[in-house]
Amino acid sequence: MQACELCEKPGGERVWSDARLRVVQVDDPGYPGFLRVIWNDHVREMTDLEPAARSHLLDVVLAVEEAQRGLLAPDKVNLASLGTLTPHIHWHVIPRFRGDPQFPDPVWAPTRGGQPRALPMPAADYRAALAGALSRRWPA
């Protein structure tokens, strides 16, 4: 098996995790609210997961979106599960704001010249608020 970045590294600053997956904040200065939901085991495709596991993963992705909406009030939240370069199940959950560097295009598009929107709180407080929202839904 080829080396897998998401098996070998956390993929960002840990926000919350359970036995099956982790939520991490991505170090991207253009998108300070950018999170990933990463399945812990090396699995390539959503349909490789059992139905209950798929449901749990998608429930967490949607709970992350809901928490971001409450904390940041973005104009839109982008959800993406690409995995072409990293064939390990992970979802990108990216709050978007009018005037961000690529708005209204995908974050991977050429920059249009906008400016990143700073988080309305320190990054550690953002992670703690998200962790609290997820922990209330899935207590340890």
Identity of the residue numbered 95: P
Domains in the chain, CATH or no CATH each: 5-137 (3.30.428.10)
User: Rounded CA gap, 20 and 40, in Å?
Assistant: 6
- The pLDDT of residue 82 is 87
User: Rounded CA gap, 37 and 83, in Å?
Assistant: 12
Ordered per-residue pLDDT tens for the chain, 140 residues: 578 999 999 999 999 999 999 999 999 888 989 999 999 999 999 999 999 999 999 999 999 999 999 999 999 999 999 878 889 999 999 999 998 888 888 888 888 888 888 999 999 999 999 999 999 998 87
- The pLDDT of residue 69 is 96
Strand ranges inside 34-102, DSSP E: 35-39, 76-80, 90-96
**Cα-to-chain-centroid distance, residue 123:** 14
